[in-house]
Amino acid sequence: MLFDHGFTLIELLVVVAIISILASVVLASLNTAREKARDVQRVANVNQIANAIALYQDDSGGVPPGEDGVEYVNGNPNWIPGLAPKYISSVPSDPIDVGEHKFHYSRKGNDYEVITFLEQNGNDASCGDGGSSCQYYEKASGEFLVLVNPGASGWRFASSTEVVTLPPPTDDTTPPPPSTPQTTLIAPAGFSMSSKLPGTNLYSGYLSFSWTPRNDVAGYRIYLTNTATNVTTTLNFSPANQSGVGNFGYDQGIQYSAYIVSVDAAGNISAPSATLYATTLKLTSPTNFTASATSPTSVSLTWTASEGIIYKYMITRYTGSVGNAQKIVEVLAPATSYVDTTVEPGTTYIYWIKAMSLENYAGFNIGTSVTTPTS
């Protein structure tokens, strides 16, 4: 008589072990494929950024976007200022955007560079750049090397071979000072940050910084964070006798935080100063400004309201040429219309309008034109 005993325990364990080995091989291959796919996407994204920068340069006389010497790290869709949406719908970020895997951009004069850090060593993704240089970044040495280098870990896209050198990324987009700074190197005293305008025109968000210079350092570095996007940029200053700076170009109506460190000739940095906060002023221009002649002696003006610290609108009228200006009225907010009854028949008028704050800060002018009927 025959008996069916089924599988033994040893046979079942052998089968389970084989399945586990096969599954681990498949998962490892899948993870490798995913890393390679993300690396290809990184190179493609940085190519898109380089193309957008080239278009920007065509319109700006060869000057790349952004502030000179500032390092921009990917974050919101506008993390490189001036590109979106005119030159690219949104500026791409790293596919995983974790740890060291972030896109970096910096410019110096008419030169620029965009850096992405890859997951696969010796990645053979095609290299196309925004100019004459495309090199590997080697994480181990912290240097940019020749194009073919199997141990490399990133791509560098640049407009020339002599551009700003960026440090290797850290796990945090806000680089902290060393945990054990030199005891003789300290941050400058009297660090302050202000959003108060130096003049009457508000072109964009404005911030100014000041500090007391030291005679034992080579320069200073400010870590500036947009608290709305959590994107941090670094501002570097030298020589050591520099004591302040002010710049437009920041987002309007946004809170920024900042701290300053001292930097010596070897690149060491001090412990940070206290972190300060300031909110930039917001005063946008009115939009949809239109003028229509309702009669030979009447012109109706309408617009969409400004945003921010708006108090009034100043309307200026020109006849013949923009050199012949006539200030006709100041309209208090929230009004968004005005009727000009001081015009003459058969005349072309150019109107300009700008928003103003109670302190007489003024935004950009915008214009429109109209011709009154003869009868």
**Which of 12-21, 256-265, 281-290, 328-337 is predicted least confidently?**
12-21
- State both tokens at 349: 């008028």
Q: How is domain 287-371 classified at the CATH fold level?
A: Immunoglobulin-like (2.60.40)
Residue 67: closest CA among 199, 174, 184, 164 = 164
The DSSP secondary structure of 158-213, one letter per residue, reads ESSSS-PPPPPP-SSSSPPPPSS--TT--PPSS-EEE---SSSB--SEEEEEE---
Residue count of the chain: 375
Residue 56's pLDDT is 87
Q: Where exactly are the structural domains of the chain?
A: 14-158, 192-279, 287-371
pLDDT for residue 193 is more than 80: yes
Alpha helix segments (H runs only) across the chain: 9-59
Q: Report the SS3 class of residue 302.
A: strand
Query: Token match 């951009």: residue?
Result: 105
The per-residue pLDDT for range 352-372, each reduced to its tens digit, is: 999 999 988 888 888 899 999
**Residues 14, 128: Cα–Cα separation, whole Å:** 50
Whether 354 contacts 325, CB under 8 Å: no
Residue 48's pLDDT is 83
Average pLDDT estimate for 174-198: 72
Residue 330's pLDDT is 92
pLDDT class of 162 with cuts at 50, 70, 90: very low
Residue 321's pLDDT is 57
Instruction: Name, in order, each residue with C-beta under 8 angstroms of 122's C-beta and a sequence gap of 6 or more.
Output: 150, 151, 152
**Residues 151, 350: Cα–Cα separation, whole Å:** 64
**Residues 71, 55: Cα–Cα separation, whole Å:** 21
pTM: 0.48
Distances (CA, A) of 10 to 5, 21, 24, 80: 13, 17, 21, 61
Average pLDDT estimate for 154-170: 43
How far from the centroid of its chain's Cα atoms is residue 229's Cα? Answer: 10
287-371 shares the fold of 192-279 = yes
**Mean pLDDT, the chain, integer:** 78
pLDDT class of 6 with cuts at 50, 70, 90: low
Residue 308's pLDDT is 92
Neighbours of 254 (CB within 10 A): 17
pLDDT class of 302 with cuts at 50, 70, 90: very high
Asked if CATH classification 3.40.50.10140 holds for the domain at 192-279, the reply, yes or no, is no
